[in-house]
Amino acid sequence: MKIKNIGLSWFRGSGETIDLNTDMKNVVVYGANGAGKSSFSDALEYIIGEGKVKHLIHKDIGSKQEKGIVNTHRPSARDTTAKFIFDDDIQVYVQIKQDGRLIFGSQPKEFIDFIQTWKLERLLLRQDEVANFIVDTPGGKYSVLLPLLGLDDLEHAADNTTKLHKSISDISKLELNKSTVKLLKQEVDKYFTDTSDAELLKALKTISDNYGIKIDLTENVFEIAKKLHQSIMAKFDSISPEISRHATFNMISEEDLASKLSVALNKENEIKDKIDRLLNIKIEILQKAASYNKNIEKGTTNILCPACGKEIRKDDFERHVNTELTKLDQLCSARDQAIEARQNLKESVSRVLVYTNDKYFKDWLDQEPQSKFKESLSSLTKINSQKWEERFTSETQVTLSSIIPIINQAVKVGIKKEPPSNKKLLEHIDVIKAINNLPEIRKIEKHTTLTMQILEALENSTSKIRDTIRFKTKEVISQISRDIQHLWLILHPNEPIEDVQLYIPRDEDKSIDVELKFYGVNQPSPRFTLSEGHRNSLGLCIFLALARLEKNKHLPIFLDDIVSSLDRGHRGNVTELLKNEFDDRQILLFTHDREWFTELRMLLPTQNWKMLVLKPWSNPSIGMQWSTSEFTFDDAREHIESNCELAGNCVRQIMDAQMAIAAEKLKIKMPYARSDKNDHRTCIEFLQYIISAAKKNLKKQVGTEWVQYDEPITLWQDAMARLIVRADRGSHTGSLVKDEVENLISVCESSVKAFKCADCGNFIWLANQEAKKLMQCQCGHITWKYD
């Protein structure tokens, strides 16, 4: 497939319109830096990349890269267009309309879809990509090469199976489920070593018996567990008040009201008799003491007892009085003990009343069977409000004596009704819960197993796809490597850098590097030993080898400024390589290297190659323009208006390059010059030798005769003369004027054209018959014999 025409309008560097008409040939486009030649490559990338050019990517460039794609000076009523016409008038185009719409189209309609499947990386190589590839990491190289290897489908598949694996793992909550099962199983393992239905039923029966709950053993074990759990939970709810009530009974019992009442009553009885007796004694003593006081005289040793009237010694009387006082003290003590007993009883009664004020206890009291107990407590409450700790009336004593036994009896009964222990109950609930966990455990385990089977299948798939990728990568890079070595040998014949090949480092995935032998020593990377020029040359070989992969053989190749770091010798080899190895592909070569362009123009046959020159950039409104000349003298013309001297120098530089190549092609023998002078000969020197040789060697066929061909010699002599006067670095000292420069350019351009046959348009050295030491143009009307 060949490109017939590329038309640009306000696209990148183009103005109103510019057409690269290939005439279905290979094309070399020369343009000084900034002339706009990359606009053609950008157009191809923009269409294949569906609106994206990699080197223009910038956050502010716009979603369609319109700020970079549209010429900044596009008139408001114009669209931006890039259009490719292929053979058979197949057309494809892109337009950025005035209103900003981006439109891709083609004729036939489906061709746009086809072109957008092209692998740009196999069709377009730019200078920076050559350099970047070689210095990139093995992973980076793999990313670059992946689309070129034709394995991106497999890579997508490997990525998709890997990501699907993760999605399934995430959505299924696999890890969470695993830990949940682990925890649930720990609960089951506490109670069961065997989770057979028989064992589970056995456990459930034991529990149900414990609570008098009936279960239907014919039911499913988990159904039984579920129902039993409900029953036990209901039990648990009723058990709470029962436990509370039992605790209340225990506390009431610990108060031991009956004993305390008994003590209080006994103490009361004790002091009751003694107090009566004490009152009598006290009265009698008081009466007799009064009489005694009357009878006692000073100095008396014996006195009459005030109690019995007998004469007693005064000492005895005093002893007696002391004895009575002791009795009185004992009585006081008994009284205090009685008060304390009453207080103890009262405090206990108060506490009992607090205990029985518990909600659960009161609820229970409200039930009919407890009415007597409730009445007793009610009476106790009333009594408690009185201050009987100070005055313990008989009535209070009677009341207490009647109600405390009732309370005591109720408490004894209550204490006997011991509720089930919480601990045991909770344990039973845990056992049932553990059984109830089993269906969940089994369900999660089933899901987990299924999930893991899917994940394992996906892991196997990813692994097999990766194996396939690795295998195919090796296969493809082995094939490419053979071609790389072949191309490398053309570019670098007789150099001690051999066995250049791609390889997968240590069987790593997603990794490719380049190895070679440098003076016989294996090098795992070109970075170790190769110069920048050699690296770029290697990058070019790799690209060209990839471009030649079978599936893309019919598509054109764009080479955009690919030889800037190569020296002249290697550039020449690139020319040979393109001419001889890619004659089946249309090549569009863009270069800013004037010397190389000159060489290409002089070497490449015009029937296959078209040479085009872009004028130096003027301004965005004018945009890119083709030079009317096939040579590069427009570079000099650009300076005429502003600087004639500079234009003159430019002419000389152009002629230096042109004549050096012409002399080389015509095999002109030049005397050896010392040091680097061989590389710095001037066009004047070359012309002298060319003219001298031409007089012997250059022949033209006229009819059947071969005659000396003088016209070119005249033109070369004219050019040499003017160069000596106006552009020779050694002789020219004055300043040029416009007319002189224009004349110089015109004469020099004619002198370069003079190396071409007027009939076929090819250079006279196009065909070389080494055996005859004869060169000739395409049609053979002009020949050059050499020694």
Partner 1 sequence: MKDDKSIDITSILESSMIELKKNNKEAYELIIKKSKEGFFENHQTAGNLKGLAKDILDISFK
Among 137, 167, 287, 731, binds partner 1 (CB under 8 A): 167
DSSP string, 654-667: HHHHHHHHHHHHTT
- CA 71 to chain CA mean position, Å: 37
By CB under 8 A, tell whether 157 contacts partner 1.
Answer: yes
Q: How far is the CB of 159 from partner 1 (least distance, A)?
A: 8
Q: How far is the CB of 562 from partner 1 (least distance, A)?
A: 30
Nearer CB in complex with partner 1: 169/386: 169
- One character per residue 687-726, x = contact with partner 1 (rule: CB under 8 A): ----------------------------------------
Q: Which residues pair with 522 in a beta bridge?
A: 517
By CB under 8 A, tell whether 273 contacts partner 1.
Answer: no
Among 9, 161, 356, 481, binds partner 1 (CB under 8 A): 161
Contact in structure between 584 and 557 (CB atoms under 8 Å): no
By CB under 8 A, tell whether 525 contacts partner 1.
Answer: no
Q: How far is the CB of 142 from partner 1 (least distance, A)?
A: 17
Listed residue (582, 561, 550, 572) closest to 486, CA to CA? 582
Q: How far is the CB of 697 from partner 1 (least distance, A)?
A: 60
Nearer CB in complex with partner 1: 157/662: 157
Nearer CB in complex with partner 1: 444/760: 444
Nearer CB in complex with partner 1: 172/529: 172
- One character per residue 104-123, x = contact with partner 1 (rule: CB under 8 A): --------------------
In the 8-state DSSP scheme, what is residue 21? E
Token duo for residue 653: 């530089």
Nearer CB in complex with partner 1: 451/625: 451
> Looking at 150-158, 189-197, 221-229, 582-590, which segment touches partner 1 (CB under 8 A)?
150-158
Nearer CB in complex with partner 1: 177/565: 177
Token duo for residue 448: 């987990």
Q: How far is the CB of 502 from partner 1 (least distance, A)?
A: 22
Residues for the chain: how many in total?
787
By CB under 8 A, tell whether 160 contacts partner 1.
Answer: yes
DSSP string, 426-494: HHHHHHHHHHHHHHHHHHHHHHHHHHHHHHHHHHHHHHHHHHHHHHHHHHHHHHHHHHHHHHHHHHSTT
Listed residue (557, 595, 570) closest to 487, CA to CA? 570
By CB under 8 A, tell whether 48 contacts partner 1.
Answer: no
Using CB under 8 A as the binding criterion, the count of chain residues that bind partner 1 stands at 27
Geometric angle at alpha carbon 618, from 612 and 622, rounded to 5°: 85
DSSP string, 315-348: HHHHHHHHHHHHHHHHHHHHHHHHHHHHHHHHHH
Nearer CB in complex with partner 1: 159/209: 159
Nearer CB in complex with partner 1: 159/710: 159
Listed residue (146, 144, 115, 118) closest to 132, CA to CA? 144
> Looking at 77-85, 161-169, 353-361, 716-724, which segment touches partner 1 (CB under 8 A)?
161-169
- CA 294 to chain CA mean position, Å: 123
By CB under 8 A, tell whether 176 contacts partner 1.
Answer: no
Q: How far is the CB of 52 from partner 1 (least distance, A)?
A: 15
Amino acid at 189: D
Nearer CB in complex with partner 1: 179/453: 453
Q: What own/partner pairs with CB < 8 Å and gap ≥ 24 does 467-470 have?
A: 468/154, 469/151, 469/154, 469/155, 469/158, 469/509, 470/504, 470/507, 470/509
Nearer CB in complex with partner 1: 234/457: 457
Q: How far is the CB of 463 from partner 1 (least distance, A)?
A: 8
Residues of this chain, 417-476, that bind partner 1 according to CB under 8 A? 447, 450-451, 453-454, 456-457, 460-461, 463-465, 468
Reduce the DSSP state of residue 350 to 3 states and report it. helix
Nearer CB in complex with partner 1: 213/452: 452
Q: How far is the CB of 146 from partner 1 (least distance, A)?
A: 12
Token duo for residue 579: 């001419």
Q: How far is the CB of 109 from partner 1 (least distance, A)?
A: 18
Nearer CB in complex with partner 1: 156/372: 156
Nearer CB in complex with partner 1: 111/236: 111
How many angstroms separate the Cα of 492 from the Cα of each of 69, 97, 458?
Answer: 38, 48, 48
513-518 and 497-503 as β-strands: parallel, antiparallel, unpaired? antiparallel
> Looking at 162-170, 227-235, 490-498, 567-575, which segment touches partner 1 (CB under 8 A)?
162-170
Among 77, 99, 171, 507, binds partner 1 (CB under 8 A): 171
Listed residue (331, 373, 327) closest to 352, CA to CA? 373
Cα–Cα distance, 8 to 725 (Å, whole number): 43
Token duo for residue 281: 């004694």
Question: With 0-12 CB in 10 A as exposed, 13-18 as middle and 19+ as buried, what is 256?
Answer: middle
Nearer CB in complex with partner 1: 475/739: 475
By CB under 8 A, tell whether 172 contacts partner 1.
Answer: yes
Among 24, 131, 164, 331, binds partner 1 (CB under 8 A): 164
Q: How far is the CB of 166 from partner 1 (least distance, A)?
A: 8
Q: How far is the CB of 154 from partner 1 (least distance, A)?
A: 7
By CB under 8 A, tell whether 156 contacts partner 1.
Answer: yes
Cα–Cα distance, 596 to 305 (Å, whole number): 163
> Looking at 157-165, 191-199, 692-700, 778-786, which segment touches partner 1 (CB under 8 A)?
157-165
Contact in structure between 530 and 117 (CB atoms under 8 Å): no
Cα–Cα distance, 374 to 372 (Å, whole number): 5
Geometric angle at alpha carbon 69, from 66 and 74, rounded to 5°: 85
Among 54, 73, 163, 313, binds partner 1 (CB under 8 A): 163
By CB under 8 A, tell whether 482 contacts partner 1.
Answer: no
Nearer CB in complex with partner 1: 131/454: 454
> Looking at 137-145, 149-157, 313-321, 583-591, which segment touches partner 1 (CB under 8 A)?
149-157
Measured from the Cβ of residue 135, the count of other Cβ atoms closer than 10 Å reads: 14
The number of helices, as runs of H, and strands, as runs of E, in the chain is 24, 20
Nearer CB in complex with partner 1: 159/495: 159
Q: How far is the CB of 551 from partner 1 (least distance, A)?
A: 12
Q: How far is the CB of 164 from partner 1 (least distance, A)?
A: 5
Cα–Cα distance, 562 to 491 (Å, whole number): 13
Contact in structure between 40 and 8 (CB atoms under 8 Å): yes
Q: Which residues pair with 7 in a beta bridge?
A: 19, 83
Q: How far is the CB of 160 from partner 1 (least distance, A)?
A: 5
Contacts with partner 1, residue ranges (CB under 8 A): 153-154, 156-157, 159-161, 163-164, 167-168, 170-172, 447, 450-451, 453-454, 456-457, 460-461, 463-465, 468
